[in-house]
Structure 1
Amino acid sequence: MSADRGGATAEPGTDPKAAPKPGGRPRRGSDPWKLAFVALLVVALVCVVTWGLLGSRLLVVREVSVTGLDRVSREQVVAAVDVATGTPLIRVDLAAGARRAEAVDLVESATLSRGWPATLRVEVVERQPLLAVRAGGEYRLVDGDGVRIEDSPTRPGTHPVVRVTGEVEGNEAVRAAADVVERAPGSLLAQVQLIDATETDAIVLDLGDGSLVEWGDPSATSDKSEVLRVLMREHPPEDGRIYDVSTPDLAIVR
């Protein structure tokens, strides 16, 4: 045995640093029973949640809520979504249900979501008329895809008439004319009577007072609209006048 500077002694082969501090409690290892209890508790909670989502009759579809409807009936959308009452909400394929709803003719897009605890929500965006197409003695109002929205016995004052060749639905010329209508200012559209889109890169607007606008392709609508506004202010519309804004930087009046 040997003495340290403070007079304390240590047993041979022992580490003084490992000795417990006076008044301290020795460290105890992890209790295996406690760990097992926590593990069982976690498993039990997972089972309860899984049962609640998949097996409980409390978290199932009891109502289908549909919003955004005007021309389409709720019954059409619910039938298209085709989710049976009593289906667990967690099991509803939201993307597939949305695709089925979008198969309805006048539905442009649909979004499905879960409204816990028992509601399936369907948000619908309906197709809106943008153009009119002459059909015999009537006018057919169509959206940008050429889908028929409704018919009008008289020429509509709120939608320009479009002239295209071939089938209307899915026609690229209809889409090009609709792009102009969607982006042009209302002050210009109020003057447009006819959009000749028989050539999609050489669209012509008939302002109804004998003047025409050579629009070109449907790009740069904002620039073309502003240039046209300036040209019309400096050279007011009259019969036979032509505004060429197909190239906005080189616009001319003839």
Structure 2
Amino acid sequence: MTTTATPPRLRAPQPRPSLAEQRERHRRSRRRTVRVVLALVLAALVGTAAWLVYFSSVLDTRSVAVSGTRELTAEQVTTAAAVPLGVPLARQQLDAVARRATSLPQVSAATVTREWPNTVRVTVTERQPLLAVAQPGGFLVVDKAGVVFAAKTVKPSGVVEVAADPANRPLLVELGSVVLSLPEDVRGQVTSITAATPDSIQLKTTSGITIIWGDSSQSALKAQVAVALLDAGPKTTIDVSAPHTPAVR
């Protein structure tokens, strides 16, 4: 048997890169190095900033500022809000602080914000007194939402006295809507409102006139009719429960 050996094929020598190609490769390598260094520096800066904001004591909560109070004191709001001091400001749970602030009966809403570098601000909206329910020794004060939020020994100025169950919030809401429908000057003439049921609302005025209101529907129209009839002359009773066909006696 005869075998034939084939000599290995020699590779052709690779052409040497030109000077321009070598320079371009060097520039690309240098740019990659710069990008890597910049990425590392940026990561270090971000990490340092995150540590500074979320974990260091530099931006700890050191004070609580309160605004929006009328009857309440800043101390009362601060105590209720219970903002934990010494916690980094960025880690404060603002919604939880707001919920605690609204646990005060006088507060209808609360907004909590961060004031850098070290303060939590709690802004409250206090309930506006609208109705007063007579009780032994004083009055329970009610807002337009039917919420009983305070007890007073005397009736607050500008508040209308109502004879109603203070636990009946839907009824208090209806009475509040009647009061709000009255012009300011007429509201000032109302001495009391009675309502055994939601559809038996009656108003008493300083001149002794009884205004039979019925329910709280169409209160804006009923108020307009009642004002016109009050201005029309002496009478003892005005019935606007059906405002399109009112009656006077």
Q: What range is the shorter-chain TM-score in?
A: 0.7 to 0.9
1:132 is displaced (CA, Å) by 1.7
Q: Is the 8 A contact 1:127 1:149 kept in 2?
A: no
How high is the TM-score relative to the length of structure 1? 0.76
1:223 maps onto 2:221 in alignment? yes
Match runs of 1:10-21 below 5 Å: none
1:50 matched to which residue of 2?
A: 50
* Stretches (4+) displaced over 6 A: 25-28
CA deviation profile, 1:69-100 (whole Å, cap 9, x unmatched): 23323232222222221111111111111111
1:252 matched to which residue of 2?
A: 246
Where 1:193 maps in the other structure, the secondary structure is strand
Specify the code of the residue in structure 2 equivalent to 1:49: A
Question: How far apart, CA to CA, are the structure 2 residues paired with 1:66 and 1:104?
Answer: 14
Specify the code of the residue in structure 2 equivalent to 1:89: L
Question: How far apart, CA to CA, are the structure 1 residues paired with 2:149 and 2:174?
Answer: 17
Aligned mate of 1:238, from 222, 235, 240:
235
How high is the TM-score relative to the length of structure 2? 0.78
CA deviation profile, 1:36-72 (whole Å, cap 9, x unmatched): 1232233123212211211222211111001122332
Report the number of matched residues. Answer: 223
Q: Is the 8 A contact 1:55 1:88 kept in 2?
A: yes
Q: Which residues of structure 1 form unaligned runs of 5+?
A: 1-24
1:149 is displaced (CA, Å) by 1.9
1:204 maps onto 2:202 in alignment? yes
1:178 matched to which residue of 2?
A: 176
Q: Is the 8 A contact 1:112 1:120 kept in 2?
A: yes
1:125 is displaced (CA, Å) by 1.7
Specify the code of the residue in structure 1 equivalent to 2:64: V
Q: Is the 8 A contact 2:226 2:238 kept in 1?
A: no
CA deviation profile, 1:89-136 (whole Å, cap 9, x unmatched): 111111111111111232222111101111100111222321121213
1:149 matched to which residue of 2?
A: 150
Farther-moved stretch of structure 1 (44-53 vs 86-95): 44-53
1:160 is displaced (CA, Å) by 1.6
Question: How far apart, CA to CA, are the structure 2 residues paired with 1:192 and 1:69?
Answer: 29
Q: Which residues of structure 2 form unaligned runs of 5+?
A: 1-22
What RMSD, in angstroms, separates the aligned Cα atoms of the two structures?
2.6
Q: Is the 8 A contact 1:142 1:150 kept in 2?
A: no
1:15 matched to which residue of 2?
A: none
Where 1:111 maps in the other structure, the secondary structure is strand
Question: How far apart, CA to CA, are the structure 2 residues paired with 1:98 and 1:141?
Answer: 23
Q: Percent identity?
A: 35
Specify the code of the residue in structure 1 equivalent to 2:98: A
